[in-house]
Amino acid sequence: MNVFRLCGDMSHVFSIVVLLLRLRVAKNASGISLRTHELFLLVFLTRYTDLFTTYYSLYNSCMKIAYILSTASIVYMIRLSDPICTTYDKAQDTFRHWAFAVGPCAVLATLTHFISGEGSGYSLFVNIQELLWTFSIYLESIAILPQLILLQRYREVENLTGNYIFFMGSYRALYILNWIYRTYYEPGYRHHYVAYFCGVLQTLLYADFFYYYMQSKRRGGRFSLPT
């Protein structure tokens, strides 16, 4: 554990807390994409199957469970919890996440899994677990897209929603620093190039948002995206 990874994780947790608070306190889900959070839930469920098979640390296990539970509760609130669910604007949340996110990621994960030859010689169960891990890495990199597209529609971005996306983006940017750090200071550190590639892609998707976020913070004014 290094300082970049810890800050990255804390940034991730913080973004989730910001969103949970926003939903609970404002009792309002407008401007929030349910599809993004369903994608994140799928990401966590497919990546953390190792909760049952590999123990890394108490920290790791607790965080994994916390991510799954908190994201599940976000999805539950937006979908079912009255009165929040009545404020969810389904008509605006239109990114076709099955066709353009889940499907392509599943295909890509299958291809990389078999082309890389990873998993050959391992049991079917381990192979499926590896495949799901790779799928989750791909899917996480683009899971924010429905949310970013929804924001483009509204343009005027609420403070808390803006902060949520900012911390969510910072999390993966900090992970990149963590990978660089580990490459230098951990002998025998195993590289996962799919994770690196997706981590960079994921961070780049936030770049444009970061730019307008910073500008609005500097002006101290309201945050709106350009047309």
Partner 1 sequence: LKDGGSKDEL
Tell me how far, at minimum, the Cβ of 192 lies from partner 1, in Å: 5
For residues 180 and 214, which CB has a smaller minimum distance to partner 1 in the complex? 180
Decide if residue 9 touches partner 1 (CB under 8 A).
Answer: yes
Alpha-carbon span 181 to 186, nearest angstrom: 8
Please state the closest distance from residue 204 (CB atom) to partner 1, in A: 18
Closest CA to 19 of 62, 78, 90: 78
Please identify, using beta-carbon distances, which residue of 123 and 227 lies nearer to partner 1.
123
Task: Give the shortest CB-137-to-partner 1 separation in angstroms.
Answer: 9
Q: How far is the CB of 194 from partner 1 (least distance, A)?
A: 9
Q: Which string of b and e fits 106-124 if b means at least 16 CB within 10 Å?
A: bebbeebbeeeebbeeeee
Instruction: Check binding of 167 to partner 1 (CB under 8 A).
Output: no
Which residues, 6 or more positions from 184, have their beta carbon under 8 angstroms from its beta carbon?
A: none
Minimum separation from the CB atom of position 136 to partner 1 (A) = 11
- Joined together, the tokens standing for residue 154 give 């509204």
Is residue 126 close enough to count as binding partner 1 by CB under 8 A?
A: yes
Does residue 125 touch partner 1 according to CB under 8 A?
no
- Using rule CB under 8 A, residue 114 touches partner 1: no
| 129 is an interface residue for partner 1 by CB under 8 A | yes
* Contact flag: residue 189 with partner 1 (CB under 8 A): yes
Can you give the length of the chain in residues? 227
| Residue 178 interacting with partner 1 (CB under 8 A) | yes
Q: How many CB atoms lie within 10 A of CB 157?
A: 22
Q: Does residue 195 belong to the site contacting partner 1 (CB under 8 A)?
A: yes
Q: ∠ CA 47-209-146 to the nearest 5 degrees?
A: 50
Query: What are the tokens at 57?
Result: 């640390």
Alpha-carbon distances of 179 from 13, 102, 143, 190, 195, rounded to whole Å: 19, 26, 21, 10, 10
Q: Which residue of 40, 67, 135, 223 would you call a contact of partner 1, by CB under 8 A?
A: 67
Cβ distance to partner 1 smaller for residue 67 or 213: 67
What are the distances in angstroms from CA 128 to CA 40, 52, 114, 150?
19, 14, 11, 33
Tell me how many residues contact partner 1 (CB under 8 A): 29
| Site residues, partner 1 (CB under 8 A) | 5, 9, 12, 50, 53-54, 56-57, 60, 63-64, 67, 118-119, 122, 126, 129-130, 133, 175, 178-179, 188-192, 195-196
